[in-house]
């Protein structure tokens, strides 16, 4: 190899010792059965990029078993996972039958942390038509790697003898790692699976890589040829594709680098995969900036809202009202988000019409308290400054004002408990909001005058 390839010892030093120990045990189990075991995908990429001084604890490990002697070994991945579970009894085992894959899960292990290990039986995936789900059959490691997205993700590291630690690099992944390039394995990659466009952007931005020229052309070609159409209409495989698109959007929109990634997706025209009319223009960018300010202001600790969902809502809200519901539904957003996007247009109309007529704070509260904060934020993003400021004032100040007395106080004063309490407290709140009462003495006077006993 022209590019420096780490030795087995070097690779070992890049992994946290318990992880290395796990891989060694897995390899021994495979060897005893006469199989080959490979570490594949993202873990190999991250291992090759890792710094020897900061040993990696990888949370997602993909392994592939290969080298069978009979068709009976088709369930090798599952058998290996079962053998490993005996060695690591505090794991959970999941078997995905038709794919001959198994997963072992560690939850908050004191040494390994939370770790997810997928063990697959080497397989070929082919796509009978674009945007379809993978079909599976047992085959060699090369074919398994060929179905992957990018050369840097299509590397395998052999764990079993002969020559454990040998890097299997059929598609030039190592060169691309060094050149910091994201490159697909074949021309039709994005046509087969448009979510790879989002993955290309995600890896490029996260790793500080560039999308290789030809690969970028393939992306543009896929988008020009309307690949997103297949993710929606008349395709029974569309839901699976939408699930993957949502997963990629989530990955991107919850990462610290989401703005740069979204910009790149916008430059590539890839937002069309969400809806053909969606473009990242200055107005959408402005609205997303406003959304960030709201999230900072109302939820700096990220405990109140799911921030990536708020971002995707802002993006979908940017579409024409008639498209919002379907896009939100296709992306399988939470019911609450779907409902909000569905009701946004009519709520916005009410708020835009009624808010300018409100002269008093109590009127503003009575109008806006019917809506949750995310809805008000969505409306604010797309409203003139004056309205936006009124909504801000409501959300930050008015919504927090409480009536000076509560139900217990009313009881002490001698009011008979009943439905009337709501009315009295509401009036007290309005008078407080409008500055008519500012302390308990004034509040008591107000009560005596408005609700004599």
Considering only 31-39, 147-155, 256-264, 361-369, which stretch makes contact with ligand ATP by CB under 6 A? 147-155
Smallest gap, in angstroms, from Cβ of residue 170 to ligand ATP? 13
Smallest gap, in angstroms, from Cβ of residue 49 to ligand ATP? 11
Establish if 36 lies at the interface with ligand ATP (CB under 6 A).
no
Q: Cα separation of 208 and 181, whole Å?
A: 9
Establish if 113 lies at the interface with ligand ATP (CB under 6 A).
no
Q: Cα separation of 280 and 205, whole Å?
A: 17
Q: Cα separation of 45 and 56, whole Å?
A: 12
Question: Using the rule CB under 6 A, which residue among 41, 75, 77, 130 binds ligand ATP?
Answer: 41
Establish if 165 lies at the interface with ligand ATP (CB under 6 A).
no
Establish if 60 lies at the interface with ligand ATP (CB under 6 A).
yes
Establish if 62 lies at the interface with ligand ATP (CB under 6 A).
yes
- Closer to ligand ATP by Cβ: residue 194 or 374: 194
Establish if 169 lies at the interface with ligand ATP (CB under 6 A).
no
- Closer to ligand ATP by Cβ: residue 59 or 406: 59
- Closer to ligand ATP by Cβ: residue 195 or 309: 195
* Residue in the shown chain whose Cβ atom is closest to ligand ATP: 42
Q: Cα separation of 273 and 281, whole Å?
A: 16
Instruction: Please give the C-alpha separations between residue 335 and each of 154, 156, 250, 329, 366, in angstroms, as whole numbers.
Output: 37, 41, 16, 8, 26
The residues in 383-442 that bind ligand ATP, with binding defined as CB under 6 A, are: none
Considering only 148-156, 208-216, 226-234, 304-312, which stretch makes contact with ligand ATP by CB under 6 A? 148-156
**DSSP 8-state secondary structure symbol assigned to residue 193:** -
The closest alpha carbon to 101, from 78, 124, 122, 85, belongs to: 78
- Closer to ligand ATP by Cβ: residue 79 or 149: 149
Smallest gap, in angstroms, from Cβ of residue 39 to ligand ATP? 11
Q: Cα separation of 169 and 243, whole Å?
A: 30
- Closer to ligand ATP by Cβ: residue 199 or 275: 199
* Cα-trace Rg, the chain: 29
Summary count for the chain: helices (H), strands (E): 22, 11
Smallest gap, in angstroms, from Cβ of residue 148 to ligand ATP? 4
Considering only 11-19, 188-196, 209-217, 385-393, which stretch makes contact with ligand ATP by CB under 6 A? 188-196
- Closer to ligand ATP by Cβ: residue 153 or 272: 153
All residues at 6 or more sequence positions from 283 whose CB lies less than 8 Å from its CB, including other chains: 318
Of all helices (H) and strands (E), which one includes residue 167?
strand 167-168
Smallest gap, in angstroms, from Cβ of residue 108 to ligand ATP? 19
The residues in 320-349 that bind ligand ATP, with binding defined as CB under 6 A, are: none
Question: Using the rule CB under 6 A, which residue among 153, 337, 348, 390 binds ligand ATP?
Answer: 153
Q: Cα separation of 219 and 278, whole Å?
A: 17
- Closer to ligand ATP by Cβ: residue 84 or 205: 205
Question: Using the rule CB under 6 A, which residue among 14, 183, 196, 324 binds ligand ATP?
Answer: 196
Contact predicate 3/174, CB 8 Å:
yes
Question: Using the rule CB under 6 A, which residue among 18, 42, 164, 266 binds ligand ATP?
Answer: 42
Establish if 148 lies at the interface with ligand ATP (CB under 6 A).
yes
Q: Cα separation of 283 and 316, whole Å?
A: 13
- Closer to ligand ATP by Cβ: residue 153 or 215: 153
All residues at 6 or more sequence positions from 75 whose CB lies less than 8 Å from its CB, including other chains: 100, 121
Instruction: Please give the C-alpha separations between residue 440 and each of 55, 397, 406, 430, in angstroms, as whole numbers.
Output: 63, 20, 12, 15
Burial of 353 (0-12, 13-18, 19+ CB in 10 A): exposed
Establish if 195 lies at the interface with ligand ATP (CB under 6 A).
yes
**Residues within the interface to ligand ATP (CB under 6 A):** 41-42, 60, 62, 148-149, 153, 193, 195-196, 199
């Amino acid at each position: 190899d022209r590019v420096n390839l780490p030795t087995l010892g070097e690779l070992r030093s890049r992994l946290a010792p318990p992880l290395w120990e796990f891989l060694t045990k897995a390899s021994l189990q495979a060897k005893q059965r006469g199989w080959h075991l490979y570490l594949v995908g993202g873990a190999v990429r991250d291992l090759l990029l890792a710094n020897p001084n900061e040993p990696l604890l990888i949370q997602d490990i993909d392994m592939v078993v290969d080298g069978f002697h009979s068709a009976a070994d088709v369930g090798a991945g599952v058998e290996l996972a079962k053998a490993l579970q005996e060695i690591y009894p505090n794991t959970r085992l999941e078997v995905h039958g038709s794919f001959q894959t198994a997963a072992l899960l560690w939850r908050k292990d004191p040494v390994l942390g939370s770790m997810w290990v997928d063990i697959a039986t080497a397989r070929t995936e082919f796509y009978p038509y674009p945007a379809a789900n993978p079909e599976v059959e047992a085959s060699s490691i090369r074919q398994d790697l060929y179905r992957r997205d990018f050369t840097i993700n299509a590397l395998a590291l052999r764990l079993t003898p002969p020559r454990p630690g040998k890097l299997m690099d059929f598609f030039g992944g190592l060169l691309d790692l060094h050149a910091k390039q994201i490159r697909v394995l074949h021309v039709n990659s994005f046509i087969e699976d448009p979510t790879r466009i989002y993955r290309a952007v995600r890896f490029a931005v996260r790793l500080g890589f560039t999308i290789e020229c030809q690969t970028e052309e393939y992306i543009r070609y896929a988008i020009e040829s309307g690949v997103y159409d297949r993710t929606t209409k008349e395709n029974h495989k569309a839901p699976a594709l939408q699930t993957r698109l949502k997963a990629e959007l989530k990955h991107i929109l919850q990462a610290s680098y989401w703005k740069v990634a979204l910009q790149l997706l916008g430059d590539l025209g890839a937002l069309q995969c969400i809806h053909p009319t969606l473009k990242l223009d200055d107005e959408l960018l402005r609205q997303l900036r406003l959304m960030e300010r709201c999230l900072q202001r109302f939820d700096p600790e990220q405990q109140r809202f799911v921030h990536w969902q708020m971002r995707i809502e802002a993006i979908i809200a940017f579409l024409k009202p008639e498209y919002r519901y379907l896009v939100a539904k296709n992306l399988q957003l939470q019911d609450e988000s779907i409902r909000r996007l569905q009701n946004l247009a009519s709520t916005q109309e009410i708020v835009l019409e009624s808010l300018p007529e409100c002269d008093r704070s109590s009127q503003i509260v009575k109008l806006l308290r019917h809506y949750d904060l995310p809805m008000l934020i969505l409306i604010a993003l797309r409203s003139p400054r004056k309205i936006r400021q009124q909504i801000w004032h409501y959300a930050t100040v008015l919504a927090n004002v409480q009536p000076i007395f509560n139900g217990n106080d009313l009881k002490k004063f001698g009011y008979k408990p009943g439905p009337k309490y709501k009315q009295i407290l509401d009036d007290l709140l309005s008078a407080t909001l409008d500055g008519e009462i500012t302390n308990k003495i004034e509040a008591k006077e107000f009560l005596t005058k408005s609700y004599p006993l």
